[in-house]
Structure formats: C-alpha cells, structure tokens
Amino acid sequence: MKMLNRREFVVMSAGVAALQAGAPLQQAFAMSSDGDKELTGLTLSEASKRIHAGSVTSTQLTQALLDRIKIYNPKVNAFITVMHAEALEQAAKLDAEAKARKFRSPLHGIPIVLKDNIDTAGTRTTAASEVFDDRIPEQDAEVVLRLKEAGAVILGKANMHEFASGGSSASTYFGPVRNPWALDHIPAGSSGGSAAAVISDLAYGALGTDTGGSVRMPAAYCSIVGLKPTYGLVSIRGIIPLTYSLDHCGPMTKTVEDAAMMLNHMTGYDKRDVASVDHPKEDYVASMKQPVSSIRLGIPRAPFYDLLDPETLKAIDAAIEVLSKLTKSTTECHLPSTAGFSALALGGEREAYHLELFRRNAQRYSLGVRQSLQTAQKTMDDVTSEPCSEKVVDYVTSNWQLILTRKSIDDAFTNFDLVALPTMRILPRTINDALNREEEIKQLEPEVISNCTPFNIFGLPAISIPCGFSASGLPIGLMIAGPRFSEGKVLALANAYEQATQWHTKRPALSPDMVVPPVTRKI
C-alpha cells in the first residue's frame, strides 16, 4: 500500500471535507490542490458566501492560508506566531456547526489575524518586544471574544512596531515587516504585519490598533482598507496600550464591505473598558449601501495637503475628481487645529504602563523605544524639578482640552458632511532608511509624514482606501473621515469610490523564489 506524503494527505483530507460539505468531486479536489491560490485570494465577503453556500469549508480555507503562510511569511515577515493547531481546531468545530446549518454570523469560519498587542488566552502576546517574549495572557481581549463568538478563526499574531511606538514596523524584536509591494520598503506601522498579511493573501482580514494612524498608515502603504472607528466604539480592554486617550482598534481588509462585516461584530459597550461608549447597535454593511449623491464633501487642504510628494498629490487629485462626481458638492474646508496635544503622547500615559517594566528590562527594549523611555524616565525620576511639574500641568490641561475638543468637533461639520484627504504625505521609505532615521532621532527635526493623528485626537471615524500607485509601484492611500459615529456614511462613500475604481483589485507579484533584501544599519 502506497504511503501518502504530507501534501497528498492534505489534498485528500481537504477533498473529503469538501465532499462532506456538498461540493462535487472534481470541484472538491480542484479547490484543495490547484485552487489553493484561488482560495487565499478571496475577499472576506467572497469566502463567507462560499462557506454559507457549502461550497468550501473553514478547514479548507484555513489550511490553504497556512500553506501560503509557510511559503510567504519568510518573505514578508508578517507573523510573529502562527496558530496552526488552534486554527484548525477552531475551523473543524465551526465546520461541524455549518454542516448542521448553525451559522453564527457572516464571519462564521473566516480566518483572520490579530496584531500582536491584542491579548489571546493561552497564546503569547508580545507587542513585538523582547520584554514580552514569553508573555502568555490568561484571557482574550474583549474584541477577540466578540469575533470568536461571531465564528472568526484566529490564524495567528501579526508582527508590528515594538509596543506600537513607531510608524515603520521596522523596529521589532522579530525582525522588520516588509512591504509586499517592495520587500526593501516599510509597510508603515505600527500595524504593519496586519496589513502585509492581508495584501499578501495570508488572511482574509486583520485587527490593528491606531493611536496616531497605525491602522490607516499601513493600509495606505500596503493598498488595503483600514478603518479607525469612533473613539470608544470598539473596546480596547485586553490590548497592550500606547496612549489610552488616543488608542483605537479597527479592521484591516481587502475591501470596504469586508471592513463593515468585521466592524459589525467588534462593537458594543464594555463597562470594564476605560474608553468604551454606549452606542446603539448598527448594521454597518447595510449602512454602507446608502446613497452618497447627497453627501457634501469637504477638502481640508491646509495643512493636510502641505508638503505632499508629487506622485501622491497626483493620485489624490484624481481620487477627489472621482469623488466629486459621486457626491453632491465638493468644497474647500477647515478643521480645528490640534496643536498643543503633544503632552498626551509624551506626558505620562505611556510611561505609566512602562514605568516598572522599563526599570527591570531597559536593555530588552529596542533602541528607539529605549531612548524615548529613558528620556521620560529621567524626567519622572527627578520629582523635584520644575520641568516635571510643568509636564504634569501640560498633560492635565491637554487632557481637558481633548475632552472639550471631542465634545465640540461635530460642530465643524456644518457646511460639509465628510472630508477627504491623503492618508500619507510621502511614499514608503526603505527599511534601512527607517532604521537609520530611528537611530539618528535626536539629530533629526520632527517631520509630519502622515495626516492621521488629528483624527485620533478628534476621536472621529476615518478610513484609508487604495487610490493609486507611484511610478515605481508603491501604493498611495486616500482617507475619508466624518463626525462621531458616522461610520456608516464614511463606509458608504469609501465603498462608492471603491466600486468606481479598480485599485482595490491589485495585488503584489509575490513568488516563492523572491530574494529578501538584507537589512543594513549605520554603525
């Protein structure tokens, strides 16, 4: 009797699973062999329809992704931990429920990935730091519990910028995340691994966190959809914090519809969460389908269009032209200034979390994070200094200002309903450039390369969607934002733009024999 090799065994097992789900013999074996790439290339919505139709199983989808991760994760380094056994066990359980026609939600059986600062019970959560290399939480984050209850399969934990403290995803204990469109470039951060996994067809969706743009920036640089919801709409309990006052959690997907599908099962009041707000339940997939012809679109050129890379400006102008044909009107507008809020990020929230960790593990932090925390630690230790007292006052007054700004920000949306602007002002840097800049941080002047942070301060929903590429093939993103709890309208306009263009259908040309460029740093 001939012994089956691993590949033959996987093919046969997947074929049998497909037959049990009702798929024809020829289709069953096609899906598990030559169809693997076709399966991983599905959008979340497409995968969901196939599971509900019984033409594919969660186990098949999960195994196809795991097989692809084995080939391509060494190229892009999107994952820190791949949960092979756990994912297949989850998928098998969900397949049994599907066979009995007991579907939990449209997410039933859909494999997704979580940024590795989001707690998973029994699976290590590292925040991409050596400090937490062996940290294993006892409980899932609230948002993970909600997604699991909806039937999502957790494939693994995504690489990220260490402790979410940067925007490159190059500074991580587990090696830099690589942009799948150009392996020597950054995917942005801090949710770089989540974005790289989605655009590389290694997951159908992902969770990222966003304190100053960390969902939207990687979405822009990887040509996917990234949504930062209204502050407090999605629980951040069980997520390793950067700055509680600005932290958000949001979906990262291939399409706008996929993001709406995930958001439907991420929201809900959590009384044990410091940020959670009690907001009526909404169906964001339904809201996404509302007409956009009555929307008045605002274009906040100052300061968001300042110092744009020429190729970015060209792509954004073309996107605005498309949006102007979809909406009622397009007018120039202004949003309130966010000057004076730096004390929130620098004034103690991050240090409050890291104080004891840093004192015990300073040398286990990466260079950039260590330098920043050392400066903060020195100031905090000198409790008698006047600068310390001033820093406390600055933080408190900034926090008061933040509360007032969020209470009044909707008033800015009087003569317009939504705004559109570039997500990023420049094209992706190389990994080497990003790392060297980090080492030279004290010598460099502060540089604004993203338009994302003001919307964390405002606490407003904002989405980044693909809107073009540079001449060298690097992605460019468009951001759409609106008043608090206007996720439905934001998603609707983003979806209308997506349907009017083809940018969301583009995928990087990955191949198993791709050479991974070396990382070189200045000594």
Is residue 15 included in any domain, yes or no? Answer: no
Minimum mean pLDDT range among 43-47, 360-364, 415-419: 360-364
pLDDT of residue 374: 84
| Digit-coded pLDDT (tens) for 153-187 | 999 999 999 999 999 999 999 999 999 999 999 99
Is residue 9 included in any domain, yes or no? Answer: no
Is residue 311 included in any domain, yes or no? Answer: yes
Alpha-carbon distance values, 404 to 86, 348, 401, 484, 495 (Å): 45, 20, 5, 14, 32
pLDDT at residue 91 greater than cutoff 60: yes
- CATH for 454: 3.90.1300.10
Is residue 99 included in any domain, yes or no? Answer: yes
Is residue 482 included in any domain, yes or no? Answer: yes
Query: Annotated catalytic, 190?
Result: yes
| Digit-coded pLDDT (tens) for 356-412 | 899 899 999 988 888 888 877 776 666 545 555 666 777 788 888 999 999 999 999
Of the residues 75, 115, 228, 391, only one is catalytic, namely 115
Is residue 400 included in any domain, yes or no? Answer: no
Closest CA to 86 of 117, 111, 64, 108: 111
Give every CB contact of residue 234 below 8 A, 6+ residues apart in sequence.
Answer: 143, 248, 249, 250, 263, 266, 267
Of the residues 214, 287, 372, 464, only one is catalytic, namely 214
Domain count, the chain: 1
pLDDT of residue 387: 58
pLDDT at residue 5 greater than cutoff 70: no
Could you tell me the pTM of the whole model?
A: 0.91
Closest CA to 240 of 354, 96, 335: 354
| Digit-coded pLDDT (tens) for 127-145 | 999 999 999 999 999 999 9
Of the residues 48, 165, 190, 235, only one is catalytic, namely 190
Task: State which residues form the domain around 197.
Answer: 35-338+407-505
DSSP 8-state code for residue 3: P
Is residue 465 included in any domain, yes or no? Answer: yes
Is residue 16 included in any domain, yes or no? Answer: no
Q: How confident is the model at residue 344 (pLDDT cuts 50, 70, 90)?
A: low
Query: Annotated catalytic, 325?
Result: no
